Amino acid sequence: MKIVNKGVRKKDALALVTGKPVYTDDIAPNCLTVKLLRSPHAHAIIEEINTDKAKKVPGIECVLTYEDVPKTRFTTAGQTYPEFSPYDRAILDKHIRCVGDPVAIVAGWDEKSVDKAIGLLKVKYNVLEPILDFRKAKDNKIIVHPEEDFKALVDVGTDKDRNICASEVFEFGNVEEELKKCSQIIDETYHTKANHQTAMETFRTYTYMDTYGRLNILSSTQVPFHVRRILANALDIPKSKLRVIKPRIGGGFGSKQSSVSEMFPAVVTWITGKPAKIVFSRKESLTNGSPRHESEIRIRLGADDEGIIKAIHMDTLWNAGAYGDHGPTTVGLAGHKAMTIYNSAAAYKFNYDVLYTNTMGGGAYRGYGATQGFFALESAINELAARLNMDPTELRMKNMLTQSQVGNKLPTYYNEELKSCTLDKCLLRAKEMIGWDEKYPCRDMGNDKVRSVGVAVCMQGSGISNVDVGAVEIRLNDDGFYTLMIGATDMGTGCDTILSQIAAECLECELDNIAVNGVDTDTSPYDTGSYASSTTYITGMAVVKACETLKNKILDEGARLLGLNSDDVEFNGKEVFSLKENKSISLKDIGNNSLVGFNNYLTASASNYSPTSPPPFMAGIVEVELDKLTGKVDIIDYAAVVDCGTPINPNLARVQTEGGIVQGIGMTLFEDILYDENGRMMNDSFMQYKIPSRIDAGNIRVEFESSYEPTGPFGAKSIGEVVINTPAPAIANAIYNATELNFRELPITAEKIALKMLERNNI
Amino acid sequence: MQIKLWINNKEFNDDIAPDMLLLDLIRSKGFLSVKRGCETSNCGLCTVMLDNKTVLSCSTLAVRANEKHVTTIEGLEKEALEFGGFLADEGAEQCGFCSPGFIMNVLAMKNELKNPSEEEIKKYLEGNLCRCTGYMGQLRAIKKYLSRVKEGSYENS
Ligand code: FES
Ligand code: FES
């Protein structure tokens, strides 16, 4: 392979490092500034809004309330239609369901007037008691979604009158029977909190009407085609009236798999005909973004005295928050991804309730529910190892998926067949890298400092099987360069480059010979979008297919121009030639000819889906230093070994891994969305909601133990999400190995550690 | 109020509101590399140089730049490319949204610290957040860049 599996530079790299104006807010010209008046109450009914004074402020173009906007319900979750997330939202609603819910949309020609107008709005609320604790939400007398026009498109067990957004029971074998036979049972409950993706570029959208009377949306989104549907639903207009464009975007991590900001300027432009823009403040992005769902998972894990796992039960509660975006789907991964790693048990049960409350609605965050599931299950596995007095890496080697299980069916993973796996090699290598055998469980460093190690393994998927679609088109142009048209959304992940690498490999050309662009729903082929770790695997395979077709067309056209049979010629990326006849024609000439007269213009398109979602795997081992007096945990070293099949671009795969681990470290040690008793987020700035700085990140070392996935392009599986799943259970394990205390709630702050150690020492 | 300043050596005379922030002034003049990532001086995305010292332009009043020279990455394209090449070779400019502010601070560090240790580098750049990369790739790029600087590969700026 010449270009695949090479760490080439991203095609947009030099524009980004020189600060070129390529993001939404850099492209938007002078236009209306759109801002929102947001509710201070978590639960209320708007009785009256007086907009008279606000409308009189000079420069104000419009003030919209629930009476002025379409009333249709929709979901802002970017998912394939029919969406699993219920249609439970309106652009503006009389019924306020969480603090920060939009009350009015104000648009004006300068920011100051808009701020002034917002200050002049008078709202009368009937304030209602909120339900903030998801453990109490089911069958509560407070109902978050009493509205009649609420709609669930797919049966996911929704019962809105009981605050149930989704509910399901999955069972394989008989868990109760198996547990009875087990001599060792771990029965513990794990609690993870909501946390934010905090892409550095906050949510933002620019909208305008074009020459043809269509509404154009330029937005920082991961899902342009879904945004088209979401806005058609929200505005109650035909999809043909909409065009969505994705420029460079400043990070997503799932947050922009929901349509968070688009509807506000869109409705302003649709009503006024004028261009409009919204840029969420950091505070708004924190108080009303699309964070990871809070979860509470009770694990019952049964094993024999040798540590052979017999049964796993995951009893799961999920906090949807005020709206059901991604609630019914994220939860599924908690069980189906986590349990699958331990594939040899006799019985599994996974039941869940996803519940509506009056906290911020959740969304998609890298890992998409699997992260919560792995924290719970991997922690329980570590607790089992401790109970058995067994090295937790040994316990895993006895139970987890390994190379030798390739070919096996995975009963908890939709009965898919495992086609590639090197998880055992990943774990062994990670142990070597960290020096596990010398360092496990801990070493006293003096000065009240302990150094300890902790371990976890995990997997994810590669796209959503039988659902995700990636289509591409590739064209041969004059002089023989290619245009690769994709609908997959590069959000910094580098997919524009990765897909171009795949094309260049197939067409045996230089990377520079492939031109690629952002997404425009008018001109790009359909793609579900960049989420669910799908792009490299799903769209990458579409590129392979399209290039095959184009190559054949080039052969045919070259042969025709040479007056030969297609069977008698070959193509080497530069020319079509026949050794026998000693004739050749260059790609450049074929390209130039293709634009003239009766010759053929050469293009090829392909669309791809996958009946399977092959899991990438990872082993993560962390070394921490824990201060026994203060409880402070420093990350010393993180050894990460990943099986993502063939890494198409090892540099980008490495940085994905490092980035995911650091996000996981933040989630484990300090990131936490905190509410006061009225449901207001208390830590709503970067001053208080801390994400890891480069001091917090520690040293991270990444290696690959590549398997070869037969269904993926050049053997590739996904990388984007699997990388966030090990830090929480591995760090919790390291903390246990330093303190012999189990922390089953995230984040594990220094304060919690110090208090628990004090408590123990006092007994 | 009236102010006069230079952005990347270009003179601007303007009548501005007293509470205008330097960040908004710079962007309004078309220097769009400068980004805002927060409202609380925590992210470093808005870093520019004011008379050769880095400042957070989101929390600097525009009037502070009166009679002063502001430099953004648009004014340091050559240096940005020199360092940026190392970043690109690591794949460590992911979304790139944090890059301009980060690179401004790296260039300032290069001029300020001689042979910084890894700890000193981290400390110097602590205020520059990046959510994509996990910082390791940035560190690899910085180390490679600084060793080239030490070899005298680039003229001083
Ligand atoms: S914008 Fe965040 S520090 Fe200036
Ligand atoms: S590269 Fe995206 S925030 Fe740094």
pLDDT tens per residue, range A609-654 = 999 999 999 999 999 999 999 999 999 999 999 999 999 999 999 9
Fold of A470-608: Aldehyde Oxidoreductase; domain 4 (3.30.365)
Distance between Cα A39 and ligand 1 center (Å) = 26
Contact B93 A199 (CB under 8 A): no
Q: Which of A14, A21, A700 sits opposite B32 (nearest CB)?
A: A21
Nearest CA to B57 among B32, B18, B13, B21? B21
Residue-level pLDDT at A533? 84
Which residues of chain B neighbour A281 with C-beta distances below 8 Å?
Answer: 39
Selected for mutation to probe chain A from B35, B77, B93 (highest A CB count within 10 Å) is B93
The Cα of A253 is separated from the nearest Cα of chain B by a number of Å equal to 9
Q: Is the pLDDT of residue B157 over 70?
A: no
What architecture is the A295-463+612-762 domain classified under in CATH? 2-Layer Sandwich (3.30)
State the DSSP string of A493-544.
S-HHHHHHHHHHHHHT--GGGEEE--EETTTSPPB--S-TT-IIIIIHHHHH
The count of C-alpha atoms lying within 13 angstroms of the C-alpha of A240, restricted to the half-sphere facing its C-beta, is 1
Residue A409: what are its φ and ψ, rounded to 5°? -85, 150
Residue-level pLDDT at B71? 98
Which residues of chain A neighbour B128 with C-beta distances below 8 Å?
Answer: 694
Q: In the numeric block, which tokens belong to residue A681? A: 């987020």
What is the residue extent of each domain of chain A? 31-128+200-251+255-287, 295-463+612-762, 470-608
What architecture is the A31-128+200-251+255-287 domain classified under in CATH? Alpha-Beta Complex (3.90)
Region B123-143: mean pLDDT is: 98
Q: Which ligand is nearest to the CA of A663?
A: 2
Burial classification of residue A572, based on how many CB atoms lie within 10 Å of its CB (0-12 exposed, 13-18 middle, 19 or more buried): exposed
Distance between Cα A199 and ligand 2 center (Å) = 8
Residue-level pLDDT at B14? 95
Q: What is the dihedral of CA A145, A151, A152, A157, to 10 degrees?
A: 40
Q: CA quadruple A690, A693, A699, A701: dihedral positive or negative?
A: positive
Nearest 5 degrees, angle CA A735-CA A738-CA A739?
Answer: 85
B122: how many CB neighbours lie within 10 A of its CB? 18
- B154 band by pLDDT with thresholds 50, 70 and 90: confident
What's the rounded Cα separation, in Å, for the pair A526 and A386? 50
What's the rounded Cα separation, in Å, for the pair B67 and B57? 16
Residue B155: what are its φ and ψ, rounded to 5°? -75, 155
Q: Is the pLDDT of residue A217 over 60?
A: yes
Contact A492 B97 (CB under 8 A): yes
Q: Is the pLDDT of residue A511 over 60?
A: yes
Q: In the numeric block, which tokens belong to residue B89? A: 């070779």
What architecture is the B2-74 domain classified under in CATH? Roll (3.10)
Region A400-421: mean pLDDT is: 97
The Cα of B64 is separated from the nearest Cα of chain A by a number of Å equal to 21
Which residues of chain B neighbour A657 with C-beta distances below 8 Å?
Answer: 134
Q: Is the pLDDT of residue B24 over 90?
A: yes
Residue-level pLDDT at B27? 98
Nearest CA to B44 among A280, A288, A694, A669? A694
- Strand segments, DSSP code E, in A193-330 are 204-209, 215-219, 242-246, 276-279, 294-303, 309-321
What's the rounded Cα separation, in Å, for the pair A721 and A706? 17
Q: In the numeric block, which tokens belong to residue A360? A: 């911020």
Q: Which ligand is nearest to the CA of B100?
A: 2
Cβ atoms A703, A641 nearer than 8 A: yes
Residue-level pLDDT at A763? 64
Q: What is the pTM of this model?
A: 0.97
If phi over 0 gives left and psi between -120 and 50 gives alpha, with beta otherwise, what is residue A172?
A: beta
Give the β-pairing of A95-96 and A44-50.
antiparallel
Cβ atoms A18, B84 nearer than 8 A: yes
Selected for mutation to probe chain B from A9, A115, A200 (highest B CB count within 10 Å) is A200
Q: Is A632 helix (H, G, I), strand (E, B) or coil?
A: coil
Residue B129 CB less than 6 A away from ligand 2? no
What is the residue extent of each domain of chain B? 2-74, 76-150
Region A394-412: mean pLDDT is: 97
Q: Which of A18, A283, A655 sits opposite B73 (nearest CB)?
A: A18
Q: Is B123 helix (H, G, I), strand (E, B) or coil?
A: helix
The ipTM value here is 0.98
High-pLDDT (> 90) share of chain A, %:
97
- A479 band by pLDDT with thresholds 50, 70 and 90: very high
Helix (H) or strand (E) holding B26: helix B22-28
Q: In the numeric block, which tokens belong to residue A445? A: 């460093």
Contact A17 B87 (CB under 8 A): yes
If phi over 0 gives left and psi between -120 and 50 gives alpha, with beta otherwise, what is residue A392?
A: alpha
Residue-level pLDDT at B155? 67
A5-40 as b/e, with b when 16 or more CB fall inside 10 Å? Answer: bebbbbbbbbbbbbbbbbbbbbebeebbbbbbbbbb
Sheet arrangement for strand A482-486: A514-516, A482-486, A470-476, A603-608
A41: how many CB neighbours lie within 10 A of its CB? 24
Residue A111: what are its φ and ψ, rounded to 5°? -60, -40
The count of C-alpha atoms lying within 13 angstroms of the C-alpha of A327, restricted to the half-sphere facing its C-beta, is 37
- Mean pLDDT for chain A overall: 97
Residue-level pLDDT at B156? 57
Nearest 5 degrees, angle CA A649-CA A654-CA A655?
Answer: 105
Burial classification of residue A150, based on how many CB atoms lie within 10 Å of its CB (0-12 exposed, 13-18 middle, 19 or more buried): middle
Contact A651 B90 (CB under 8 A): yes
CA-based end-to-end distance of chain A: 63
- The size of the A-B interface in CB pairs under 8 A is 174
What's the rounded Cα separation, in Å, for the pair A732 and B67? 54
Cβ atoms A619, A455 nearer than 8 A: yes
Cβ atoms A256, A204 nearer than 8 A: no
Residue-level pLDDT at A728? 98
Q: In CATH terms, is domain B76-150 a member of 1.10.150.120?
A: yes
How confident is the model over A66-106, as pLDDT tens digits? 999 999 999 999 999 999 999 999 999 999 999 999 999 99
Q: Which residue has the tokens 């979008």?
A: A529
Q: Which ligand is nearest to the CA of A492?
A: 2
Residue B130 CB less than 6 A away from ligand 2? yes
Distance between Cα A214 and ligand 2 center (Å) = 33
Which residues of chain A neighbour B138 with C-beta distances below 8 Å?
Answer: 694
Q: CA quadruple A199, A200, A202, A206: dihedral positive or negative?
A: negative
Residue-level pLDDT at A599? 84
